[in-house]
Amino acid sequence: MGGPRPAPNRVAKFHTPEIVVGPGSFPETGAVVAGLGVQRPLVVSDRHLETTPWYAQLLDGLRAQGLTPASYLDVTPNPRAGEVADGFTAYRAHGADGLIALGGGSVIDTAKGVAVLASNGGVILEYEGIDRVRRPLPPVVAIPTTAGSGADVSQFCIINDPERRTKVTIIGRTLVPNVTVIDPTLLTTAPSEVTAQAGMDTLTHCVEAYVSLAHGRLTDSLVLESLTGVWGNLERLVDDPADRLAGEEMAMASLRAGMAFTNAILGAAHAMSHPVGGHCDAPHGTINSVLLPHVIRYNAFVCADDFVNLADAVGLDTSGDPQVVADRLADAIAGLATRVGMPDTLTPLGVRAEDLSLLTRHALADSCMVTNPRRPEESGILDLYRQAL
């Protein structure tokens, strides 16, 4: 094991929504929404979810409660600012008084963006940064259909700025949904590649929240439980989406990691991932899976003992120098990523050598970089991108 972690000498808040969790929780959504006083909800989802049983069941359940729902379904991966604007147009046209997000992180972030515009006005990209959303949002209920983004419990909203070709990070307490409904049954319709991407996102949340400058005892404990859940179940769920136990464990791992990172914040892997996602329109979890091993080695110069603790949590050999153990953990994570079908470089995602300077500038400006344990410098981040290319 690594050395004991010093307890942070500060007061911290812990943000979390009301959580309805477990197999069979999805049918409770109508009552949950009605309980918030919402009468005319806008359901935000995507065209894939529209073809699953969950979309029709959700609308039926809302109507059974006497509610009048409408839908906005034109959400794409890495949602663009224009999609948030279009969603707000649908919200206003319906006379909506609340939102329900049925989907993965892209859908949930879009719903959050619509909620921001509904109460604060303007353009969603104006809210980039920390605590720039001032007015309370209308009620938001999140129903994750993947085990990975953590958007359903987080104070983050990530939106693509197509003009700058980067993602913007919006952070604030008001962005935490009112309620999240987590039913692992919904994971069975996620394509295997989406399950793999989401799972690697969860793993990245674990690692970055644990070494974050804003970590605490509560977030640490959530990380360790989540990490063991991902390590033991992600491959099983990718191989067999109907594996009920693996689905339940991954749903809980995603929940724990989401609660950890929304309170501890993240680090260089996410700060570097966001520009790549905006520039190349590549899947967020896939980008994280490539970058994370490199970032672990980079950060190990200042917090190697923390990585020893994480290595121990997943059953790796922790003997020897902590730097060596951190390398061992990075290698093991890269191996897991390969086994679930992730690429080992950024090149297949469309990143080119001539893009790296621009990506580095955007990464250094990302809010997630603030809590990275090693103070980032332009040369170091650029070198990380080169290593990952």
- Give the residue-averaged pLDDT of 316-326: 97
Q: Please report, as a single letter, which amino acid is at residue 142.
A: A
Q: How far is CA 108 from each of CA 14, 177, 299, 303, 336, rounded to the nearest angstrom?
A: 20, 9, 30, 33, 27
Q: What is the structure's pLDDT at 12? A: 72
- What is the rounded distance in angstroms from the CA atom of residue 152 to the CA atom of residue 7? 28
pTM above 0.85, yes or no: yes
Rounded percentage of the chain residues whose pLDDT exceeds 70: 97
- What is the rounded distance in angstroms from the CA atom of residue 286 to the CA atom of residue 344? 9
Confidence class for position 9, pLDDT limits 50, 70, 90: low
Q: Please report, as a single letter, which amino acid is at residue 64.
A: A
Half-sphere exposure (Cβ direction) of 87: Cα atoms closer than 13 Å: 36
Could you confirm whether domain 18-186 is CATH 1.20.120.10? no
- What is the rounded distance in angstroms from the CA atom of residue 293 to the CA atom of residue 290? 7
- What is the rounded distance in angstroms from the CA atom of residue 15 to the CA atom of residue 174? 10
Confidence class for position 8, pLDDT limits 50, 70, 90: low
Confidence class for position 13, pLDDT limits 50, 70, 90: confident
Rounded percentage of the chain residues whose pLDDT exceeds 90: 95
Distance of CA 38 to the CA centre of its chain: 26
Return the ∠ at Cα 255 (arms to 9 and 203), rounded to 5°: 80
Q: What is the structure's pLDDT at 6? A: 64
DSSP state of 80: B
Domain boundaries, the chain: 18-186, 190-388
Q: What is the structure's pLDDT at 249? A: 98
Handedness of CA 292, 307, 234, 251 (dihedral sign): negative
The CATH H-level (homologous superfamily) assignment of domain 190-388 is Dehydroquinate synthase-like - alpha domain (1.20.1090.10)
DSSP notation for 117-184: HHHH-S-GGGG-EES---SPPPPEEEEESSSS--TTT-SEEEEEETTTTEEEEEE-GGGS-SEEEE-G
- What is the rounded distance in angstroms from the CA atom of residue 118 to the CA atom of residue 317? 52
Q: How far is CA 77 from each of CA 33, 37, 42, 278, rounded to the nearest angstrom?
A: 26, 31, 19, 10
